Structure formats: C-alpha cells, structure tokens
Chain A
Amino acid sequence: RIVGRMVAGNRKGLLVPTTTTDKELQHIRNLLPDSVRVQRVEERLSALGNVLVCNDYVALIHPDLEKETEEIIADVLDVEVFRQTIAKSPLVGSFATITNQGALVHPHTSLEDLEELASLLQVPVVAGTVNRGSGVIGGGLIANDWVAFTGMDTTATEISVVESIFKLQATTSSDLLQDIRTSLIDTM
C-alpha cells in the first residue's frame, strides 16, 4: 500500500512487485506514457523501493536479488546495475536517494564507501540526514532533477544539503560561469 516502497523506476521504466494485481498493472500502464515500460517482477524481496535505487543511468540493488531480476532491471530501466550495500545495510532503496545530479546516503556511510559509490554512480555523493536526524533517506526524501520533497521534521540545514547535492537551487548565468571557471582551474 505504501507505493513508494513497493515500486522503483526511472524515466525509461517502472518496476512493480509480484503482489501487483493485473487490474492495477493495467491501470498503471494506461496512466503512464507509452515510452515508460511497466514490468512486474517476480522476486521474493518484493518491496522494490527498498531494495533498489536508481537514476536514468545507474541502479544499485540489494546484494541478494535474483540474477533474473537484475537482468530485468538492466533491460527495462536501461541502466547499469551494481550490487551494493550502503552503511553496511543491503536495503539500498531505504538508505539512499539518487537523481541524475547527485546522491544522498545514510549518515553512517564510511568515506571509502562514499568514494566507491561516487565512482559507480558518476555523480557527487554526500552522507546526510532528513527528518531531523533520520538516516532513512529513501523513506524521508523524494527527488528528481527539478524538485525534491521531504518530511516536515526536516531542518533548514538538512534542506540546504539536499538542495546543494541535487542542484535544486535556481542557478543564474553568473553561477554557471563560476562553475566553469572553477572546473577549468581544477583541470589546469
């Protein structure tokens, strides 16, 4: 019933669990544009929102997911799939939120893990909290390339971290210029 935890998807597709009824599946297919492939996944770990986290290019999955499920994910969502844990927990979907711009993960993620994730995801990764100190990022934050929603308990500091990692502040041309300048200086 808590849909966010049951499904996972990106621009290209949506994966729904075994427990989805045919009627529900049909309804979802009708609602979404044809470009989005909707696929039901026969998997023991049925809370896909908790075991899978992805953006449009990369997906991280629970280490115990079936090989078949991994192939379906790679096919339907058109992503590169990696089996990974976050802060020693296999529930990658619960402890991380990722978009095409960045990723926010559980606060106890070690520095080595952060670096590894950054190299896998090819986006900046930061460890932080939402909902006033909660490490369950996936359960407290939902984000895409333009907007993010987070729980009422979230403090201003946490919101500023979310805004910066997912690049959600309004950027003016001077900011872009600043970004270009700093990256040029870095490469030289």
Chain B
Amino acid sequence: PLKLKLTHCPTSPDRNSSLVVQSKMADFGTGKRSRDRQEEDMMDDSDEEELTLDQADDMEDVQVELDLVDLEEKDYHSTKQFLLNYLDGKVFLTTDLADLIVTRKEIGTSIRVNGTDDSYGFVSVLNMHHHAGVKAILEIRNHMLQKCADKATRDVLVSLFTDSSKGLGLLLNERMVNIPDALAPPLHQNLFDEIAIAFNTEKAAAAPGTQLYWDIENYIFITTIYLESLPTRVPTGKRNKQQNEESLYRYQKAEDEIYLKHASVRCEWAGRKVPHAMTGVSLTEMRVLAVVNRSKIPVILKELAET
C-alpha cells in the first residue's frame, strides 16, 4: 500500500507556504483510495492528512517527495518549457509569458522534487486585461478566438477580452504527466488562497475606484483532455448517444474534470491521436478552452478536495 502524507503549513501574508507531499509512486491512476481526513483550517498550525492507496505489488516503489513552493527566478526555464506547446505547437513569445509568471511574487506555485531545483509543474494566474499589451497575451487571445469554431462562443470570448471591468485571469496549470493527482487539491486551494490574500492586500493599499489586478471575475484556461475513439456503432437514440459521450473523456489532470463541469464557456478542438499508455486504445488529444466564473471556485475546490 502507498502512503501519502500531507502537512499543511499556515499561509502567512508574505506567502511562505509550502506543502510537503511524500509519496511512493508506482502504478498511476489505478487502485482504490481510502482516506482518513481532518478538517483543514488555515489559521491553525500544521494539520495532517493521510491517504492510503492500494496498488499492485509487482511494481517497483520509488520514493519521491514533492514540495509545493513559491515560483521564483530559477523556475524560469522549466516554466517556459511547459508553455512551449500551449498554442498547439505554434511558436509564440513564451519568454515573455514565463517572465511574467516567475516575477509575479504574490501568487504562483512550483512543484519541485524535494531538495532539487527541478520543477515538475507549476500553477499561476495572470490578469489578461492588465497585460493586454504584452505580445504573448495577444497571441494567446488570438489563438483562442481562432480555434473556437462556434460563433456564439467566440462572441462571448470577445466580450470577456474587451470588458476590462470584469477581470479575466489566465489560469496556467501545467505539470508532468505522472505527478499524482493527490497534489491537485492543495495546489489549487493554495492558489486561490493566495489570490484572496493578494486581493485584500491590493485593495487595502489602492485608491478607491481603481481596477485591481486581483479582482478577477472569470478564469480562462486551455487544457488537454483525451477522447476515446468509439468503435463504429449505429446511434440508437438521443439518450443512448449522450450516455456514451460522457464516459468517453479521459482526464490527464483530475481537476480538469471538475473545472470543466462548472465552466460557463467551453470550446474544444482536436489534436493528434495518441495510444493509451496502458491499454493501447487510440485516444484523440483534445485541447479544451474553458471559462469559469469566480463564484464557482469554492464549489470546485470543495469537489476537488473530495475526490
């Protein structure tokens, strides 16, 4: 059995939060989970959570300790690397984007293997209206509009991009494929906690009436999910078809399923076909663009914590 230990350190105003996740990674994505959980309260001292995963015994266990730490300058190159394929292989100014991300001090988390400088993933949010002049942001906007086939959705996107009274946050959430999903709840919880703190700090310091960076109404993001190809079959009815469609999506990152469930806008386009690592079944890589309103965030975080 795998043991996953989470220790949550309190988030202080100067954001020295780090979570330590100790995990034995063997087989990924299979097996049952049983959980013994305590109520998590931010203001208290360290809480402990223990998750036990039952896994097949025939695989070798690799002891890995993952830290969630603040993004810093040394994450620049790995962050840039993760973003290279953000626009489906189109070359864009990842340098500027990575620069914006690692220099944002108030929020942003990097997943690091304990003791090393290697970043295995990161999460951050950038206010698209405040960075509207940055070429990389423009390129992302144009790409989103270009890839969205449906005109109605495109119009919604255009209004989101142009209405600067409603802050639009670009949520960037990338990591390596085999990072355990148990990392996602604290990762995202931490992100939104940091945003809340940053918002309060900014509000206290700013003159009344100014458009705050952290006053984000909607979060927009692009992620990759997989669509399993159906063997050819005659559709027997609307209800039948719907049931089949829902079960076909495979989520690389567990939180994607929950975010997409609560998305107000959703747009997807197909990428290449890849074989599933375990079963060899052909999957189509789908790039999904989605927008989530801030009112849905607490629900999402709650559902994420329960998975």
Contact = CB atoms under 8 A, between A and B. Distances in A.
B91 to A, nearest CB: 10
Contacts of B95: 152-153
A139 to B, nearest CB: 14
Interface string A124-137: 00000000110000
Interface in A108-135: 132-133
B79 to A, nearest CB: 11
B231 to A, nearest CB: 43
Contacts of A132: 76-77
B135 to A, nearest CB: 12
Nearest to B95: A152
Contacts of B73: 133
A152 B76 CA distance: 13
A165 B73 CA distance: 25
Nearest to B102: A132
Contacts, number: 10
Interface size class, chain A: under 10
A178 B77 CA distance: 40
A57 B95 CA distance: 37
A133 B95 CA distance: 13
Contacts of A153: 76-77, 80, 95
Nearest to A131: B77
Provide the main secondary structure of the chain B interface: helix
B252 to A, nearest CB: 28
A151 to B, nearest CB: 9
Nearest to A155: B99
A152 B77 CA distance: 12
Interface in B38-79: 73, 76-77
Contacts of A152: 93, 95
B99 to A, nearest CB: 9
A153 B76 CA distance: 9
A133 B74 CA distance: 9
A132 B98 CA distance: 12
A132 B77 CA distance: 8
Nearest to A151: B95
A65 B80 CA distance: 37
B88 to A, nearest CB: 20
Contacts of B77: 132, 153
A134 to B, nearest CB: 8
Interface string A12-36: 0000000000000000000000000
B73 to A, nearest CB: 8
A152 B73 CA distance: 16
A153 B98 CA distance: 10
B256 to A, nearest CB: 30
Contacts of A133: 73, 76
Interface in A141-179: 152-153
A97 B77 CA distance: 22
Nearest to B80: A153
A132 B95 CA distance: 10
Nearest to A134: B77
A133 B80 CA distance: 14
A113 to B, nearest CB: 26
A36 B73 CA distance: 44
B165 to A, nearest CB: 33
10 contacts: A132-B76, A132-B77, A133-B73, A133-B76, A152-B93, A152-B95, A153-B76, A153-B77, A153-B80, A153-B95
Given A133-B73, A152-B93, A153-B95, 7 more contacts: A132-B76, A132-B77, A133-B76, A152-B95, A153-B76, A153-B77, A153-B80
Q: Which 3 A-B pairs rank lowest in CB-CB distance, beginning with the nearest?
A: A152-B95, A153-B95, A132-B76
